[in-house]
Copies of this chain bind each other. A is one copy, B any other.
Amino acid sequence: MTITIIGIGLIGGSLAITLKENGFAKKIIGVDINSENIDKAYRRRLIDDDMNLDEAIQASDIIILSTPMDVMMDLLPKILDQVKDQIVMDTGSTKVSLLKKIKTHPKRKNYVATHPMAGTEYSGPEAAIPNLFDKKCTVICDRKDSSKKALKKIESLYQSIPMSIIYLDAKSHDIHTAYVSHISHISSFALALTVLEKEKDENRIFELASGGFDSSVRLAKSSPDMWIPIFKQNRDNVLDVLDEHINQLARFRSVLIKQDYQKFHKLIQESNEIKRIIK
């Protein structure tokens, strides 16, 4: 099978490594607007060939769209305009706006909307790693809008990794990802700014920062070029959960101000419930 990956970064590059290694793909074609990324992808042996977009679409069985969300919004309709039997999937972090854009496209059935739930705070071809997706979970959205053939092919792609698959409608997907992914990033960006603002003596942070601090702010290294389009497209859900987060912090502020340590204890105990959910 020949697979084209458009956007050879953390996600696209890691998929390239995995699908080549496990034999699902015979050939990986890379398409990237940034020629430096193509060079890096060759050097890291992520791709076997590179082409311009139109050539790559014609030469492929599956086309994986793995660019930032704003670029996807432009590219997805253009790609569908050119496909015959090829199957198209994306790996984007938001779905409602993207699916609206191609809702009535005559080739809608050739496309499967997916979101593999994995990543790191790094980006670009140099960030691609094997096993990024291993045993993680992927979401397939609005599956009834894809043809049976396209759905089956993309399911077999994810099963080859292997990833487990859950099925959600686009709206639920965007709400859940605001809760379990997008808010963690805003919290981490804000925490980094807090500490950078307060802690002028940077050597002290460097010396004192222990594991807890590292893990809380590591997401603050994430790329704005990737994240701004996500926040833009999922704005209402993100605002909703951000308001709730600020409310929760205000509760901690209030018990500290009142020195109500019994209530504070109870708040921490409630938050400890997260143990049931994450290992």
**What is A's interface to B at a CB cutoff of 8 Å?**
117-121, 136-137, 139, 164, 166, 176-177, 179-181, 183-199, 202, 204-224, 227-228, 231-232, 235, 238-246, 248-253, 256-257, 259, 261, 264-265, 267-278
Contact = CB atoms under 8 A, between A and B. Distances in A.
Contacts of A238: 256
B137 A227 contact: no
B221 A195 contact: no
| Interface of chain A, main secondary structure | helix
15 contacts: A119-B211, A120-B211, A181-B213, A184-B213, A192-B271, A196-B270, A197-B244, A198-B241, A205-B277, A206-B278, A214-B278, A217-B278, A221-B274, A239-B257, A243-B253
Nearest to A250: B246
Contacts of A222: 268, 272
Closest 6 CB pairs of A and B: A224-B268, A184-B216, A192-B274, A192-B271, A190-B248, A189-B271
Nearest to A253: B242
B216 A199 contact: no
Contact of A278 (B197, B213, B223, B274): B213
Contact of A220 (B220, B231, B246, B274): B274
A237 to B, nearest CB: 10
Nearest to A199: B179
A172 to B, nearest CB: 8
Contacts of A267: 189, 193
B205 A252 contact: no
Interface centre among A179, A239, A264 (most CB of B within 10 A): A179
